[in-house]
Amino acid sequence: MPLTPLLKHLTIFNTDFLFVPLFIFVVTAEENKKVISTIGSTAELSCIYTPEKKFILNKLRVFWQIADGSKPCSVVHTFNSGHENQSEQCADFRNRTRLFQDKLENGIFSLLLLNVSLRDEHTYRCIVQKKDVVFRVIHNADVALKVAANNSLPVLSGPIRIHPNIGEEVTLSCNYSQGYPKPNIYWINRTDNSTLHPSSLKIIQDNDGTYSVFSTLKIEANSDIKVECIIENELLQQNLTILYSENVTNSNSTRSNLLDLNEPGAQAGGVLAIAIVLAGLAVLTCWLWKRKFSRRRSYAGN
């Protein structure tokens, strides 16, 4: 019984009929590329069409446009018959776009977009025309630009250079700013790699579109603390981690004794105490002597 559907599948898969849509799928996957770029960096939007022979530049047009269609202005970069013509370029892209001038004739029409910002998240379309008698489209490609932000590192804080007492409640806080897209946060106990649940977690989107994270973790210091805060950027497949590590004091009495012995005041106090004891002993000895003598004297006097 279970064999029948499986066999059916295999038969269908082997027919040439199914091979056609599969082939089409491969082509679309190649032409619709995704590029991930971080804020402030330069993105390369790829558009490559390798010709049989070199292109003649004054018979070539390259248009880079925003393909979304939602924006009022869609012109990103224009190369027309041997010259760049940015008269129609959207103000957003002014001075931020470059073609590989010396590679155009080899069919490399890729665009460099400088100083990427969150507003640049679009699907871009490259349209290449070649003139034989009239200009005709010979190639087009779409590139989806995804923008990520990771310009800062998480900041983790807790009690600094104060060893918490055993059993004491300790609060750690982990902040992160200006991430994009919305980050994930994890607290990990590095002693056994278990996940800890934050006591508070606030993720807010700032005016510039980036996200900030504020999280706290309350733990009971039952043993030495080794806790990590992880900020995950799923788009970049990147984890930013920061570790908090602090040893706890085994018992409060041991701690205070150790501390006291190391303090100069305590040493002076110790010396004073010994002096007082010695003085007391001296006084006692004197008194005993005196008593002995006076007894003798009175005996002698009798």
Ligand X SMILES: *[C@@H]1O[C@H](CO)[C@@H](O)[C@H](O)[C@H]1NC(C)=O
Interface with ligand X (CB under 6 A) = 38, 83, 85, 87-88, 94-95, 115, 117, 150, 153, 155-157, 166-167, 173, 175, 186, 188-189, 191-193, 196, 214, 219, 222-224, 230, 232, 236-240, 245-247, 251-252
Minimum Å gap between C-beta 63 and ligand X is 11
Minimum Å gap between C-beta 200 and ligand X is 10
Nearer to ligand X, 48 or 162 (CB): 162
107 Rama sector, left if φ>0, alpha if ψ -120 to 50, beta otherwise = left
Dihedral sign for Cα atoms in the order 116, 34, 110, 81: negative
Nearer to ligand X, 107 or 148 (CB): 148
> What are the residues whose beta carbons fall under 8 Å from the beta carbon of 165, sequence distance 6 or more?
221, 248, 249, 252, 255
Nearer to ligand X, 68 or 224 (CB): 224
Nearer to ligand X, 11 or 95 (CB): 95
Longest dimension (CA), the chain: 154
Minimum Å gap between C-beta 253 and ligand X is 6
Nearer to ligand X, 46 or 106 (CB): 46
Minimum Å gap between C-beta 116 and ligand X is 8
Minimum Å gap between C-beta 183 and ligand X is 11
